[in-house]
Amino acid sequence: MQLIRGCAADHTLHWLPTTDEREIMSINSLTNAAAARRPDTLPLNDVPKDAGEIAAAANTPPTAGPKPTETLANQKNAVETALNVLFGYIPTEVITLYVAVISAIQSGPKPTQGEWNAFIAFAVATPIVVWLVYGAKLKQASKPLPTAYGAWPVWEMAAATIAFVAWSFALPRSPFAAYDWYSAALSGVVVLIVSTLLGLVAPFFQRPLAQ
């Protein structure tokens, strides 16, 4: 897994994942994992319980039939499975669009208020996008939309938002670069800590979702 894709002119690390990794590290995979927690999706009444099952569920759409752990997780080694979970909460689609917007509106050597506004807007939009993608997957699987709060993929919505904030913190032209205490080294540490913590605590939030 390639974490550092390059370095900006100001030596800020560029942390976007490769194209092949986006199948795992995306809102698409987050919502797959969320759908696996519903009792009415296959395998029925079987919530992912560990890192291997979460990683497998993230790669299995709710319309697929076989049990995810049998079709995918057993084919992966322990290291790859751990990496899939540790870095599986990156909302790649949102970050990609955010980078494009920041590149279009940036002006001057320092972050502007417009860049801060974009950061806040995308942070607010991230959980909404997760819910919309999740709802679309359920509709495709002929399941009812998750209108009740108990049916929301709250863990995935929160994790994606936290991951977005952490990864935008490490991107070139991060609005946080306006602060004197900000550095590329610090941003790298923050990304690794947040990604690791999200992966470690994920099994504790694998509870069945309401239908």
Per-residue pLDDT of the chain (211 residues; tens, 9 = 90+): 344 344 444 444 444 444 444 334 577 777 777 777 777 765 555 666 666 667 666 767 776 555 544 444 444 455 455 556 556 678 888 999 999 999 898 887 788 899 999 999 999 999 999 999 888 888 888 888 888 888 898 988 999 999 999 989 988 778 998 889 999 899 989 988 888 888 788 878 877 777 6
Per-residue pLDDT, 178: 86
Per-residue confidence (pLDDT) for residue 9, from 0 to 100: 42
Whether residue 46 lies inside any domain: the answer is yes
- Domain membership of residue 211 (yes or no) is no
CB 129 within 8 A of CB 93: yes
**Number of structural domains in the chain:** 1
Q: How many CB atoms lie within 10 A of CB 120?
A: 11
Residue 108 falls inside a structural domain: yes
Sign for the CA dihedral angle at 18, 19, 20, 25 comes to: positive
Structural domain includes residue 198? yes
pLDDT at 119: 95
On whether residue 38 sits in a domain, the answer given is yes
Distance of alpha carbon 151 from alpha carbon 166, whole angstroms: 26
- pLDDT of the residue at 81: 54
All residues at 6 or more sequence positions from 45 whose CB lies less than 8 Å from its CB, including other chains = 39, 208
Distances 192 to 6, 114, 137, 180 between C-alpha atoms, Å: 17, 27, 30, 21
Distances (CA, A) of 199 to 65, 83, 155: 26, 9, 12
Kindly state whether residue 134 falls inside one of the protein's structural domains: yes
In a domain, 156, yes or no: yes
Residue 17 CB partners (closer than 8 Å, separation 6+): 1, 2, 3, 5, 25, 87, 90, 92
Q: Which two tokens stand for residue 97?
A: 């669009």
Residue 137 falls inside a structural domain: yes
DSSP 147-172: -SGGGS-HHHHHHHHHHHHHHHHHST
Which residues span the domain enclosing 145? Answer: 6-205
The encoded tokens of residue 153 equal: 């993929």
